[in-house]
């Protein structure tokens, strides 16, 4: 085996100004805030120790309601505070940590309930419909070759590496580590919500690059989530 050396990241002496990818949109879908989590549900009384020891990957799924999807995204990725914009975009505080508070990884959702592709907007806590993109039926057929789960919701982790490169030399490994941390948060949040969840070994390429008509996006992971059967 040949190990690919990505080098050691280090901050730039002078940061670069980066212009983020422009995502097309054709509508917005508001999601349930965390304030509406059912307080009388015993699921949410588990300690972190309970969650860490109970968590298991699942391969059987029931359809995921929109409210549970909203809570999953809020517990992992919702923007909690906004910082400076000297890189050309705002640094943000979210539940999942990110190198330099940059958060270069977008969550793109393909739900059989909603259809099409939808990008999660952490600032507005909404799903933003993405017109076009890769053929959903083709993607789902390829997913079924890994795990046959036609009713599960697909989460694509789509990185914008230029964001992290604006602050760091040798930034690639930071993007991959951000993606891994986010998958870990998703798995624990899914357990807290009583959901079935499994991370997938694929990167999500070449689908990620086909979501917009400009370069700058790369697939860095994928997962399936749904209600437990």
- Asked if residue 7 belongs to a domain, the reply is no
Q: Where does the pLDDT of residue 88 fall: very low under 50, low under 70, confident under 90, or very high at 90 and above?
A: very high
Q: Where does the pLDDT of residue 123 fall: very low under 50, low under 70, confident under 90, or very high at 90 and above?
A: very high
Number of domains forming the structure of the chain: 1
Q: Mean pLDDT score of the chain, rounded to an integer?
A: 94
Q: Which domain holds residue 123?
A: 22-227
Query: CA 90, CA 108: separation in Å to the nearest integer?
Result: 20
- Asked if residue 92 belongs to a domain, the reply is yes
The pLDDT, as a whole number, for residue 42 is 59
Q: Where does the pLDDT of residue 34 fall: very low under 50, low under 70, confident under 90, or very high at 90 and above?
A: confident
- Asked if residue 121 belongs to a domain, the reply is yes
- Asked if residue 4 belongs to a domain, the reply is no
Range of lowest pLDDT (3-12, 34-43, 111-120, 139-148): 34-43
pLDDT above 90 covers a percentage of the chain that reads 86
- Asked if residue 175 has pLDDT above 70, the reply is yes
- Asked if residue 45 has pLDDT above 80, the reply is no
pTM of the full predicted structure?
0.95
Q: Where does the pLDDT of residue 80 fall: very low under 50, low under 70, confident under 90, or very high at 90 and above?
A: very high
The pLDDT, as a whole number, for residue 35 is 84
The pLDDT, as a whole number, for residue 182 is 98
- Asked if residue 8 belongs to a domain, the reply is no
Task: Look up the CATH number of the domain holding residue 189.
Answer: 3.40.109.10
- Asked if residue 5 belongs to a domain, the reply is no
Distance of alpha carbon 191 from its chain centroid, rounded?
16
- Asked if residue 129 belongs to a domain, the reply is yes
* Average pLDDT score over residue span 53-63: 95
pLDDT digits (tens, 9 = 90+) for 186-224: 999 999 999 999 999 999 999 999 999 999 999 999 999
Take residue 152 and report the two structure tokens written for it: 């599960």
pLDDT above 70 covers a percentage of the chain that reads 97
> b or e along 146-185 (b: 16 or more beta carbons within 10 Å of the residue's beta carbon)?
eeebebbbbbbbbbbbbbbbbbbeebbbbbbebbebbbeb
- Asked if residue 71 belongs to a domain, the reply is yes
């Amino acid at each position: 085996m040949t190990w690919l050396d990505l080098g050691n990241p280090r901050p730039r002496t002078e940061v670069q100004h980066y212009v983020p990818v422009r995502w097309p949109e054709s509508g917005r879908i508001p999601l349930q805030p965390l304030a509406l989590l059912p307080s009388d549900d015993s699921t949410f009384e588990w300690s972190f120790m309970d969650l860490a020891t109970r968590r298991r990957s699942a391969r059987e799924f029931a359809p995921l309601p929109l409210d549970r999807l909203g809570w999953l995204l809020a517990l992992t990725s919702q923007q909690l505070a906004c910082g400076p914009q000297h890189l050309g975009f705002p640094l943000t505080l979210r539940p999942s940590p990110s190198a330099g508070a940059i958060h270069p990884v977008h969550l793109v959702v393909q739900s059989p309930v909603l259809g099409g592709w939808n990008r999660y907007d952490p600032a507005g806590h909404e799903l933003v419909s993405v017109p076009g993109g890769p053929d959903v039926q083709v993607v789902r057929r390829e997913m079924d070759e890994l795990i046959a789960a036609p009713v599960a919701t697909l989460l694509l982790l789509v990185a914008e590496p230029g964001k992290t490169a604006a602050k760091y030399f040798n930034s690639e490994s930071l993007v991959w580590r951000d993606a891994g941390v986010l998958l870990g948060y998703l798995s624990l949040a899914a357990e807290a919500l009583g959901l079935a969840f499994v991370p997938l070994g694929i990167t999500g390429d070449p689908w990620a690059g086909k979501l917009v008509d400009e370069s700058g996006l790369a697939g860095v992971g994928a997962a399936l989530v749904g209600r437990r059967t």
